[in-house]
């Protein structure tokens, strides 16, 4: 994915939940863990810290996936989208409210096809850092994929960045001064 723009190295921004996102603690914990994971990677991709304010660089939403709010597709599971024009410093990361979500222990429904909150959120946050979907099967070892598998299929949980994700972050942003992952909060700023 190349929008002809990327975050400045070491950018520190914010993320928030809007009123559509469930207040369920395990859902927010899982999503926050995903944001923190990519924020504090050993690369100088942007860091997003939580804010309870009414505006942020990244707003997490929970909207119906059978609407056209994400690229004209129906039935989407997750989505990351930004503004029409650069600078692309405002994003919306959306999980589909009509899907079943889990953190591996709790879930929002009892159906067999469940999507992992942390995995899909990490996928979408990868797009915020300008990672593209890896359509080459050789790159299947990547969180940023077009088609996540549903729980309890194998590899249902990909809650950490993989080799190809990291390689792309390294290319785009370079190594963080904190070179021994995982970098602690604030150490990479």
Query: Footprint of another protein on this chain (CB under 8 A)?
Result: 1, 3-4, 59, 66-85, 90, 92, 98, 111, 113, 115, 120, 123-124, 126-127, 133, 135, 144-150, 153
The H or E element containing residue 164 is: helix 163-173
Residue 54 or 179: the one with the smaller Cβ distance to another protein is 54
For 153-188, b/e burial (b = at least 16 CB within 10 A) is eeebbbbbbbebbbebbbebbeebebeeeebeeeeb
Residue 120 or 169: the one with the smaller Cβ distance to another protein is 120
137 φψ region: left (φ > 0), alpha (ψ -120 to 50), beta (else): alpha
Kindly state the smallest distance separating residue 138's Cβ from another protein, in Å. 15
Kindly state the smallest distance separating residue 91's Cβ from another protein, in Å. 9
Residue 53 or 72: the one with the smaller Cβ distance to another protein is 72
Kindly state the smallest distance separating residue 81's Cβ from another protein, in Å. 5
Kindly state the smallest distance separating residue 136's Cβ from another protein, in Å. 12
Residue 27 or 80: the one with the smaller Cβ distance to another protein is 80
Residue 66 and residue 94: Cα distance in Å, rounded?
Answer: 13
Kindly state the smallest distance separating residue 179's Cβ from another protein, in Å. 28
Residue 40 or 99: the one with the smaller Cβ distance to another protein is 99
Residue 137 and residue 58: Cα distance in Å, rounded?
Answer: 30
Residues 6+ away with beta carbon under 8 Å from 46: 7, 11, 12, 13, 39, 57, 128, 129
């Amino acid at each position: 994915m190349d929008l002809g723009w990327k975050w400045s190295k070491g950018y520190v921004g914010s993320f928030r939940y809007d009123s559509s996102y469930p207040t369920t603690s395990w859902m927010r914990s899982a999503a926050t863990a995903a944001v923190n994971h990519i924020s504090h990677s050993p690369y100088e991709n942007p860091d997003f810290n939580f804010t309870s304010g009414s505006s942020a660089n990244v707003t997490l939403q929970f909207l119906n996936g059978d609407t056209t709010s994400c690229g004209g597709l129906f039935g989407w599971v997750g989505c990351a989208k930004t503004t029409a024009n650069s600078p692309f410093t405002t994003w919306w990361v959306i999980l589909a409210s009509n899907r079943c979500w889990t953190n591996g222990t709790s879930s929002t429904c009892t159906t067999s096809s469940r999507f992992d909150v942390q995995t899909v959120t990490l996928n979408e946050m990868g797009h915020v850092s300008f990672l593209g979907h890896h359509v080459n099967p050789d790159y299947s070892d990547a969180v940023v994929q077009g088609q996540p598998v549903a729980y309890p299929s194998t590899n249902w949980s990909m809650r950490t960045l993989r080799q190809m994700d990291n390689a792309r972050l390294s290319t785009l942003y370079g190594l963080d001064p904190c070179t021994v992952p995982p970098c602690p909060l604030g150490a990479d700023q």
